[in-house]
Amino acid sequence: MPQTRQADRHADRHVDDAARVVLPAPRTPDPREAPALGWGVIAPGGIAASFVEALRAHTEQRVVAVGSRDAARARAFADRFGIPGAYGTYADVLGDARVDIVYIASPHSGHFEQALRAIEAGKHVLVEKAFTRNAREAEQLVQAAREQGVFLMEAMWTRFLPHIDVVRQVLDLGLLGEVRTVTADHGQFMNPDAAHRLFAPELAGGALLDLGVYPVSFASMVLGPFASVTTVGDKAFTGVDGQVSIVVTGESGAHGVLNTTLYARTPTTASISGTRARLEIEGDFYAPATVRLISRERELLCSYVPAQREGGLCYEAAEAARCIAAGRLESDLMPLDETLRVMHVLDGIRRDLGVTFPGE
């Protein structure tokens, strides 16, 4: 990121004098202060349950409807969380006048069609990451939302968390000096089961879209648009990507070293190393996490420890509510053009690996 002389002096003062170093406090607004909206949930699975729990515990948002292709499943979810509307079709959720915004929590393969129907119904939309199967679908959604005049955002929850705002401020202040290297990984061990959604090509499975999107999005946030992307990886037994290692370069020449895998539980940490100092984000870096500022001499200068570690999905919902109340159709923290840029990178990585999904 470009630095002014003032930022350089600020960085020298704070990094060279360990006794005085204090990481900036997050500027993230209290999620409870966000204007309350009526939310409809599409696809009541595990991530939907975590989302609703976070809203109930940490916001004033109201979940008013849930839809599933299985009416009994929708009713069970509604009963569990005290949701007044339970529907056996997604169309019924979109037809509910109490619903201001729809949260799409289905597998990646369903995002495009479900989000498009919601946009066409005039609803605001929050779409789980990865946004769609590919950039072509993402571009169509963005165009539709802009034409319809509704809010649309990728639910890349990491971008809205307080510790990531600390990271942004550190970069803006130039405390690390010139950024040279970014690292991030996200790997989980998954039993090789063809019925599991992450191994299912028809559900747009694989490590990259579900897990690897976190390291790629993080590197994009830090480095900006990539000047180059180099990929090494292999396919799982079903033909989806099983493990991927990626080296990217930013326009400044900085490198990003990223990894994702379905074969092992990795540290899921991230770091940003500069000419003056480095930031280390503990695992899981994409969730509320401790951030440490380390000097060139490997001395711990200071740390940021999150006050809240549970319910982090509340921050993305609060951001959406604030934007909608202000009449904004996208978020400055996760702009639609940034989502499109990341989707194009993911497309290129899959091309390199020879991974395609049915119907692409």
Looking only at the bridges linking them, the beta strands covering 38-42 and 226-235 are unpaired
Picking from 240, 233, 231, 232, the residue whose alpha carbon sits closest to that of residue 192 is 240
Question: Distance between alpha carbon 283 and the CA centroid of its chain, in Å?
Answer: 15
Please report the pLDDT score of residue 4 as a whole number: 38
Please report the pLDDT score of residue 243 as a whole number: 98
For 318-338, what is the mean pLDDT? Answer: 98
Q: Mind telling me the catalytic residues?
A: 129
Q: Are 31 and 59 in contact (CB under 8 A)?
A: yes
Q: Could you give the CA distance from residue 162 to residue 156 in angstroms, rounded to a whole number?
A: 14
The average confidence (pLDDT) of the chain is: 94
Q: What is the pTM of this model?
A: 0.93
With vertex at residue 224, the alpha carbon angle to CA 161 and CA 105, rounded to the nearest 5 degrees, is 45
pLDDT confidence tier of residue 21, bands split at 50, 70 and 90? confident
Summarised one tens digit per residue, pLDDT across range 31-81 is 999 999 999 999 999 999 999 999 999 999 999 999 999 999 999 999 999
Summarised one tens digit per residue, pLDDT across range 189-238 is 999 999 999 999 999 999 999 999 999 999 999 999 999 999 999 999 99
pLDDT confidence tier of residue 11, bands split at 50, 70 and 90? very low
Does the pLDDT value for residue 15 go beyond 60?
Answer: no
Instruction: Domains for the chain: give ranges and CATH numbers.
Output: 5-27+162-353 (3.30.360.10), 35-158 (3.40.50.720)
Summarised one tens digit per residue, pLDDT across range 113-148 is 999 999 999 999 999 999 999 999 999 999 999 999
- Percent residues over pLDDT 90 in the chain: 93
Does the pLDDT value for residue 289 go beyond 80?
Answer: yes
Q: HSE, CB side, 13 Å, CA atoms: give it for residue 217.
A: 30
